[in-house]
Amino acid sequence: MLNKLLKRSYLGAVYLFLYAPLFLLIILSFNSSEFGTKWTGFTTDWYLKLFNNGTLMDAAVNSFLVAVSSATTATVIGTLAAVSIFRFRFFGRNFLMTMLYIVMMSPEIVMGISLLILFMTLNIPLGFQTLLIAHTTFSLPFVMIVLFTRLSDFDKSVIEAAKDLGADELKTFWYVILPSIAPAVVAGWLLSFTISMDDSIASFFTTGPGFEVLPLKIYSMVRLGIKPEVNALSAIIFVFCIILVVIAQFLLKERKK
Amino acid sequence: MKERNLFQIVTIGIIAIWLVIFALIPNIMVFAVSFMERSEESFIKAAFTFENYRAFFSSMYFSIFAASFKMAFITTLICLVIGYPFAFILARSGSRFKSLLALFVIIPYWTSALIRTYAIKVILTTNGLINTFLIKAGVISEPLNMLYTQGAVVLGLVYTLLPFMILPLYAAIDKLDTRYIEASQDLGASRLQTLAYVIIPITVPGIVAGCLLVFLPSLGLFYIPDILGGAKNILIGNLIRDQFLNSRNWPFGAAASNILTIVMAFMLFAYYKSVRAINRRVL
């Protein structure tokens, strides 16, 4: 009994460590005091101030555009590739898988500078297009791993049946495979969207002064000190991400039972 | 048959081309640049030199590398010590809420590390939660200077990276076959012996994967020292960034980034070795 209590309090303490700072941040975003953690009254002023901050809103729109387009690109390329890797044996298959794992494991800063060197060498101006490339690249392995997990319990004989009934490759993919892996495809998109919205290190190297994104804007504000608007902004982003991640996890769990 | 080849060629072709152009070639370029010389006009000058690597051993840079490795090592150790018992209790609990509890570890894994670092700053700052509380409780009269210390940077790293340690450990322990533990106990092993000779060895791939996911980022996450550490406690990541954006010494920055790649290669090798020995993947 004591043992159980001890275990529970240990779990509780770690969860408290992980979540207390974030909840504090959310509470402080409604605090009318501009400095410190002393509660001086409830206010939504910081949120209003946030929505009236033009450059911040521009950065938010930019981040959203990059996240939607990179998540979509990564999901389309990643889904098609994951299905082919799952179904076919071909030359270089292991090499491809190794490259994906290395992309997933590499420190983000290494990816950031390597792409910066590539873009500068090719004279590609830094901005939306370079961010799109960087974000698609780091999202691809995540999309594909989510799909591999889902595909691993896909019955290959269904594909044979579709073939016997005269479906071509495209039809088999569209009418047989895709409907069955759709939840994982959506989950992969949501997770890519989240990591794109949150990314600061790769974006730091691959965007130019003309195209600001939200995490970098937050980064420059946070370096200067603590601001209630940042608390409000962080609270919004955090809650938004939680919702997306919970939906994604729900989609991935749903059929496993 | 021809059709199947077309679908396969197109889908595999796109991802292969993408990864070669945007992952393989850029990494080869970093490797190549690290042996070149810097140039004021075009960042780099074609040449072949080991100078960029020799510069690591100059006293100034060496101390930065040593300090960064030390912080990464301490961070990894703390995460492992906190994370292993946590993952163990969670994975072996028969609770109805087990998957919900696991979800609460997954959430921070996906949410912004920048925001989570900022949250730590809010707590540590002069008039933040800890100081306000301690002054109210009468423990201290003057606020403590917790920000801009090495401890603050390590706390930020642990806070940000702990989920990255817990998840692979959880996956490894969750798959652990209970019969091994029963067998060990039937053969008369004490609980400590079972842990040391059965449970930990079988979960080595999870331990190595967790250490990889914590150690590497703790060398590179440059915004954590920026936000929590001031100018003194910097990481290799800060050094790399400064070479690329401020001092414009690309070859040296590339050489420093290759250190991270080499560390990654070693740890991935250790991971594959342990997976082969135990025959169980967790990543």
* CATH architecture of the domain formed by A21-31+39-253: Orthogonal Bundle (1.10)
Contacts of B99 (CB under 8 A, 6+ apart): A253
Write phi, then psi, for B44 (nearest 5 degrees). -130, 155
Q: What is the pLDDT of residue B26?
A: 96
Q: Does residue B48 lie within any of the structural domains? A: no
Amino acid letter for position B132: T
Three-state secondary-structure class, residue A21: helix
Chain A's closest residue to B251, CA to CA, is A117
Q: What is the pLDDT of residue B169?
A: 95
Q: Does residue B128 lie within any of the structural domains? A: yes
Among candidate residues B205, B199, B212, the one with its CA nearest the CA of residue B279: B205
Q: Does residue B15 lie within any of the structural domains? A: no
Does B90 sit within 8 Å of A118, measured CB to CB?
Answer: no
Number of H helices, E strands in chain B: 15, 2
Range A221-230 average pLDDT: 82
Does A137 sit within 8 Å of B22, measured CB to CB?
Answer: yes
- DSSP letters along B122-149, please? HHHSTTSHHHHHHHHTTS-SS----TTS
Does B24 sit within 8 Å of A99, measured CB to CB?
Answer: yes
pLDDT tens digits for range B265-281: 999 999 888 888 876 56
Q: What is the pLDDT of residue B280?
A: 59
Contact A193, A244 (CB under 8 A): yes
Least confident window among B30-39, B128-137, B198-207: B128-137
| pLDDT tops 80 at residue A143 | yes
Q: At what angle do helices A93-105 and B250-278 cross, to 10 degrees?
A: 120
Q: What is the pLDDT of residue A2?
A: 73
Among candidate residues B160, B276, B255, B256, the one with its CA nearest the CA of residue B213: B160
Three-state secondary-structure class, residue A121: helix
- Does any CB of chain A come closer than 8 Å to the CB of residue B204? no
Banded model confidence at residue B55, pLDDT cuts 50, 70, 90: confident
- Does any CB of chain B come closer than 8 Å to the CB of residue A223? yes
Banded model confidence at residue A257, pLDDT cuts 50, 70, 90: very low
- DSSP letters along A152-172, please? TT--HHHHHHHHHTT--HHHI
Taking the C-alpha atoms of residue B174 and residue A12, their distance in angstroms, rounded to an integer, is 19
- Does any CB of chain B come closer than 8 Å to the CB of residue A160? no
Q: What is the pLDDT of residue B4?
A: 52
| pLDDT tops 60 at residue B119 | yes
Range B48-55 average pLDDT: 86
Taking the C-alpha atoms of residue B251 and residue A40, their distance in angstroms, rounded to an integer, is 52
Which CATH number does the domain housing residue B211 bear? 1.10.3720.10
Range B67-75 average pLDDT: 95
Q: Does residue B102 lie within any of the structural domains? A: yes
| pLDDT tops 90 at residue A15 | yes
Q: Give the pairing of strands B37-39 and B43-45.
A: antiparallel
Contact B16, A101 (CB under 8 A): no
Q: What is the pLDDT of residue B210?
A: 95
Q: What is the pLDDT of residue A190?
A: 94
Q: Count structural domains, chain B.
A: 1
Does B112 sit within 8 Å of A237, measured CB to CB?
Answer: yes
Does B93 sit within 8 Å of A18, measured CB to CB?
Answer: no
Among candidate residues A88, A90, A100, A86, the one with its CA nearest the CA of residue A154: A86
Give the residue from B103, B112, B248 with the most A CB atoms within 10 Å of its CB, the best one to mutate: B112
Three-state secondary-structure class, residue A20: helix
Mean pLDDT of the residues in chain B: 88
Range A232-256 average pLDDT: 86
Check residues A38 and A250 and name the one with the higher pLDDT. A250
Range B130-144 average pLDDT: 82
Banded model confidence at residue A77, pLDDT cuts 50, 70, 90: very high
Q: Any idea where the domains of chain A sit in the sequence?
A: 21-31+39-253
| pLDDT tops 60 at residue A255 | no
Contact A101, A210 (CB under 8 A): no
Q: What is the pLDDT of residue A36?
A: 67
| pLDDT tops 60 at residue A236 | yes
Range A57-68 average pLDDT: 94
Q: What is the pLDDT of residue B281?
A: 62
Range A96-115 average pLDDT: 93
Q: What is the pLDDT of residue B224?
A: 93
Q: What is the pLDDT of residue B147?
A: 82
Does A241 sit within 8 Å of B114, measured CB to CB?
Answer: no
Among candidate residues B86, B274, B261, the one with its CA nearest the CA of residue B162: B86
pLDDT tens digits for range B14-48: 999 999 999 999 999 999 999 998 877 777 778 88
pLDDT tens digits for range A186-211: 999 999 999 999 999 999 999 988 89
Please give the ipTM for the structure prediction.
0.91
Token look-up 């999309």 returns: A143
Query: Which residues 114-133 on chain B approach chain A with CB closer than 8 angstroms?
Result: 114-123, 125, 127-129, 132
Token look-up 């590339």 returns: B254
Instruction: Determine the structural domain holding residue B86 and report its residue range.
Output: 58-278
Cβ neighbours, 10 Å, residue B215: 22
Structure tokens at A71: 């998540």
